[in-house]
Amino acid sequence: MTEAELETSPDTVVGWREWVRMSPLGVPWIKAKVDTGAKTSSLHAFDLQQIEIDGLPWVRFHVHPWQATDADSVPVELPLHDRRPVRSSSGHVEERCVVLMRMTLARKRITAEVTLTDRDEMGFRMLIGREALAQGFLVDSRVSYAGPRPRRSTRRRNWGRV
Measured CA to CA, the distance from residue 139 to residue 133 in angstroms comes to 8
For position 113, what pLDDT does the model report? 97
User: What is the model's pLDDT at position 162?
Assistant: 36
Q: Which of 107, 101, 133 is nearest to 6 (CA)?
A: 107
Q: CA-CA distance, 153 to 162, in Å (whole number)?
A: 9
Residue 66 banded pLDDT, cuts 50, 70, 90 = confident
Between the alpha carbon of residue 106 and those of residues 20, 47, 48, 124, the distances in Å are 7, 29, 28, 17
Q: What is the pLDDT of residues 121-151, one digit of tens each?
A: 677 889 999 999 999 999 999 999 999 888 8
**pLDDT for 43 beyond 50:** yes
160: pLDDT strictly greater than 50:
no
- Interacting residues of 2 by C-beta distance below 8 A, sequence separation 6+: none
| pTM reported for the whole predicted model | 0.85
Q: What mean pLDDT comes out for the span 21-33?
A: 91
Q: Which amino acid is at 34?
A: V
Mean pLDDT on 86-111: 91
Please give the average per-residue pLDDT across 84-107, as a whole number. 90
- In this structure, the chain runs to a length of 162
